[in-house]
Amino acid sequence: MNGLSLSLQRRVDAFTLDVTLEAPSGVTGIIGPSGAGKSMLLQMIAGLVHPDQGHVIFDGESLSDATMRRFIAPEHRRIGYVFQDALLFPHLSVAQNLDYGAARRTSGQCVSRDEVIDLLGLGALLARRPHHLSGGEAQRVSIGRALLSAPRLLLMDEPLSSLDPRRRADIMPFIEALHRRLDLPILYVSHNIDEIARLADRVVVLNEGRVAASGGVAGVLNQPEMQRLILGDDGAGDPAAIVEATVAAHDTAHHSTSLSLGAARINLPLLPLEVGTIVRLRIHARDVAIATEPPRHISIQNIIEAHISAIAPTGGGQCDITLSLGGVHMLKARITANAQETLGLHDGMKVWALVKSVALASGT
């Protein structure tokens, strides 16, 4: 097959990594709790760590095969690697760091120097040294250096984990641009569910060295057991649903964009996206209220007809309501057990979901 195919095993002390997966073109998100083996997996793909058993095949070429005793050195694999820290050469300028990446190129050129500078917004930074860069700027240079080595596969190991939320938000559009403009398979490791929801085409969840789930982003990350595994106690009080919608129309007079979720519609502030574009939304349960009749004279504009598909007590006098919008679309609402009893909510009941806030996870 084209893309990446692997089956790898490695034991370190009491920990064993045993992973089999396939990653075609696009962005494959790899997520899981700390210690799941995410970084170790990337290191074996890159050739920085030898597996005990297994193989790595990329576009039909065997990069390693323990049975055949085949192992291609990292520098000959044409794999770009972006680490958690930028790891730039401090004595070199940004331009010189980029040139170092180009000098490591062994064949071909997936993207020109000028395009990398434009793609990552590096033009104003070329003369600076790394100590004059912000964390987000340094990571953009690190990504550019990796791209200029002409990789056929890009590995990104939690590249935003050391950044504060503002700088993380600043660099995210540049990473999205890689996906849109370059035909380059990317494996993107993160422990942050929002990053994966925004960037990935598909997702692999690792836990204790093994694949716990894999597939489409919404299908995997909407599973309650996967949310509990990834988020742990942090996500217990704030479940969310990931839904995919289509840009249906723009209303420039009111600066809004209408998104279609099957028969339902959601309005957001005006988005610079063409009609027909698929977007991914993350809607938190805390931002969804429930009405048993169509509400009138209310400021909340996103009111969606739905049916209750499940009611699950969560303790502390609260319960989670799963709402079906028909087909594959669903929402979550967290309300008090008293509200559930007062409203007489039950499985199969027709209700109206009042969506107070919507986070745009991605636009492709």
Superfamily in which the 4-236 domain is placed by CATH: P-loop containing nucleotide triphosphate hydrolases (3.40.50.300)
> Which residue in 123, 122, 168 sits closest to 142, CA to CA?
122
User: Do 4-236 and 240-363 show the same overall fold?
Assistant: no
Name residue 309's amino acid: S
Residue 36 makes CB contacts below 8 A (sequence gap 6+) with 206, 207, 208, 209
**Calpha distance 220→216 (Å, rounded):** 6
DSSP β-ladder status, 278-284 and 240-251: antiparallel
Q: Which residue has the tokens 């064993």?
A: 16
Strand partners, 206: 211
> Which residue in 319, 357, 358 sits closest to 337, CA to CA?
319
Which tens digits make up the pLDDT trace of 80-105? 899 888 788 899 899 989 988 777 77
- HSE of 326 in the Cβ direction (CA atoms, 13 Å)? 11
Whether 312 and 325 have beta carbons less than 8 Å apart is answered as no
For residue 47, name the pLDDT band (cuts at 50, 70, 90). very high
Element holding 177 (H helix, E strand): helix 165-181
Which tens digits make up the pLDDT trace of 222-242? 888 888 888 876 555 567 888
CA 337, distance to chain mean position in Å, is 33
**Calpha distance 142→86 (Å, rounded):** 5
pLDDT surpasses 80 at 326: no
**Calpha distance 158→23 (Å, rounded):** 18
Task: Transcribe 64-78 into DSSP letters.
Answer: EETTTTEE--GGGS-
Q: What residue segments make up the domains of the chain, in order of their start? A: 4-236, 240-363
Give the model's pLDDT for residue 74. Answer: 92
Strand partners, 81: 155
Whether 205 and 212 have beta carbons less than 8 Å apart is answered as yes
pLDDT surpasses 70 at 362: no
Percent of the chain with pLDDT over 70: 95
Which tens digits make up the pLDDT trace of 26-43? 899 999 998 999 999 999
Q: What average pLDDT score do residues 7-36 get?
A: 94
Which tens digits make up the pLDDT trace of 146-167? 888 888 899 999 988 888 888 7
Residue 54 makes CB contacts below 8 A (sequence gap 6+) with 6, 7, 8, 9, 64, 66
Burial (Cβ within 10 Å: 0-12, 13-18, ≥19) of residue 188 = buried
Average pLDDT, the chain: 88
> Which residue in 53, 51, 44, 59 sits closest to 2, CA to CA?
59
DSSP β-ladder status, 153-157 and 79-82: parallel
Give me the CATH code for the 240-363 domain, please.
2.40.50.100
Q: Which residue has the tokens 């559930």?
A: 340
DSSP β-ladder status, 70-71 and 256-261: unpaired
**Calpha distance 115→144 (Å, rounded):** 10
Question: What is the DSSP secondary structure assignment for residue 60, as one 8-state letter?
Answer: T
